[in-house]
Amino acid sequence: MGHEIMTTTETTTPTSLQPLDETGRAVLFTEARTANSFAPTPVGDEELSQIWDLAKWAPTAANFQPLRVLYVRPGEGRDRLVAHMSDGNKAKTASAPAVAVLAVDTAFHEHVPDLLPFRPELKDVLAADDEMRETSGMFNATLQAGYFILSVRAHGLAAGPMKGYDSAGVDAEFFPDGRWRTILIVNIGHPGENPWFGRLPRLDESDVVRWA
C-alpha cells in the first residue's frame, strides 16, 4: 500500500492549515479530563450525530474507516449495558446521559469499492487474508476511537473511555450477528459531582522522543 493509492483526480485546498489556539488545545488536550461521574443534563441525538460527523474526517489507512458506533441512551438500553460493565465502571455508565459503544466492523472490507474507488480489488485481497483484515481493522478502528474521544471534547462534552467490561457479554447483547465487535465504551456528558481523579503525570519527552 504505497503512496500511489492516495492519488485521486479530485483536488481540494485545505483552508485551515493554521495552529489551533491555546483555548482549542486546552479543550482537546491540556485541560481536558476523563470524567468519572456525569450531571443529569441530557445530551441530544443531534449532538451525538455531530460527534461522529466530525470524527469521521480524521484519517485511516487506505480510507478503511472500520469503526462503528452504537449510541446508548438512558433507559432500557443503558440498563442492558450497565449489566456488562465491570463493577468499578457500573456507576459511571449508569450516570452517563449518553454512552458510545465503539466497535470494529469485522467485514469493513465490504465498503472498500466505495471508500477507495481506484483500488476496489483490495476488498478481495482483504477477504482472502484473515490476518491482514483483522490487524488492519483493529488498528484503524482503535485509531478512530482516539479521534472519537477528541471529537467528544471538541463538542464541549466530557468523555469517559472504558475497557473494563465483559466484551463477550456486550457483543452478545448488542451485536448478536457477530459482525461488529466492541473495542471501547465511552461515557459522554457534562461532568457531575467530583468528576475528576487527580491528574496523573505524563512521561517526559526524554522518555518518549528520540531523534534521528
Q: Which span (37-45, 115-123, 162-170, 204-212) binds ligand FMN, by CB under 6 A?
A: 162-170
* Footprint (CB under 6 A) of ligand FMN, residues 54-93: 89
Should residue 96 be labelled a site residue for ligand FMN when binding is judged by CB under 6 A? no
Is residue 122 close enough to count as binding ligand FMN by CB under 6 A? no
Identify which of residues 115 and 149 has a Cβ nearer to ligand FMN in the complex.
149
Is residue 25 part of the contact set for ligand FMN (CB under 6 A)?
no
Among 33, 90, 155, 179, binds ligand FMN (CB under 6 A): 33
Q: For ligand FMN, which stretch binds (CB under 6 A), given 51-59, 67-75, 117-125, 160-168?
A: 160-168
Tell me if 116 contacts ligand FMN by CB under 6 A: no
Specify the stretch interacting with ligand FMN by CB under 6 A; choose among 50-58, 95-103, 169-177, 193-201.
Answer: 193-201
Contact 65, 140 (CB under 8 A): yes
| Cβ atoms of 185 and 84 closer than 8 Å | no
> Which listed residue (200, 203, 208, 209) binds ligand FMN by CB under 6 A?
200
* Chosen residue from 74, 77, 113, 161 binding ligand FMN by CB under 6 A: 161
Q: Enumerate binding residues for ligand FMN (CB under 6 A).
A: 33-34, 89, 161-164, 184, 196, 199-200
